[in-house]
Amino acid sequence: MNMKGKIDLYAKIRHEYRWGVGTIRGLAEMFKVHRRLVRDALDNPLPPKRKIPLRQHTSLASAIPLIDVLLLADRDVPYSQKHSAPSIHHQIQSELAGLRVAGSTVRGYVRKRKIELGLGSQRVDLAAERTVVFEWMRAVQQGAIPRAEMKKELSHVLELDKLLRGIREGPVCTAQEGNDRPLP
């Protein structure tokens, strides 16, 4: 049962206890739950959060030093040369032939270790980047910002040269009939 469903169940139990059946045993039978849960619902308005046990990586234990060495070596290499979880899994299978470990286990551990080591994803959100560039382009076309300032502010954008070429060449749309002003 999800958290929202459990909150609703707790509210129904409290309501029925106050206005309906009135006994813990009766509520447990009515809602088909344990009496302990009824007592919890009467004591607390919110159910306790689910406990997540900390598990040891028993199958991965002998491969952890190899994974850590590979991830630490990735600190100084470009993004395209960094080890991915599938490549690490393949390397584990080739170097530690007797070890059988699932790819999902390796993937989960690699994801956790990359976050701990600060090697998170360095990909940029292109949609957000394009939106920023188009806002700047609109301001330049309207004359609010000089082009030199836009070049300085957006020097990190990969597609800036293409976008600036589009600004220099002007709008692609032609003027509407009866209107001398070009379309934005």
The predicted model scores a pTM of: 0.42
Q: What does the alpha-carbon distance between residue 134 and residue 153 come to, in Å, rounded to a whole number? A: 13
Number of domains in the chain: 3
Greater confidence (166 vs 140) lies with 140
Are residues 68 and 112 located together in one domain of the fold? yes
Query: Comparing C-alpha atoms, which of 32, 54, 37, 47 is closest to residue 2?
Result: 47
**Which residues does 10 contact at the CB level (< 8 Å), separation at least 6?**
40, 41, 44, 45, 46, 47
Q: What is the pLDDT of residues 34-72, one digit of tens each?
A: 999 999 999 988 888 888 888 777 788 888 999 999 998
Range of the domain at 160: 126-169
Are residues 111 and 138 located together in one domain of the fold? no
Confidence of residue 165 (pLDDT cuts 50, 70, 90): low
The predicted pLDDT at position 25 comes to: 92
Q: Report the percentage of the chain scoring pLDDT > 90.
A: 17
Confidence of residue 20 (pLDDT cuts 50, 70, 90): confident
CB 57 within 8 Å of CB 49:
no
Per the rule left: phi > 0, alpha: psi between -120 and 50, beta: everything else, 171 is beta
User: Does a structural domain hold residue 107?
Assistant: yes
Q: What is the pLDDT of residues 137-154, one digit of tens each?
A: 777 777 777 777 766 666
Helix (H, G, I), strand (E, B) or coil at 142: coil
User: Does a structural domain hold residue 174?
Assistant: no
The predicted pLDDT at position 117 comes to: 83
Distances (CA, A) of 47 to 4, 27, 52, 64, 65: 10, 17, 15, 37, 40
The predicted pLDDT at position 29 comes to: 92
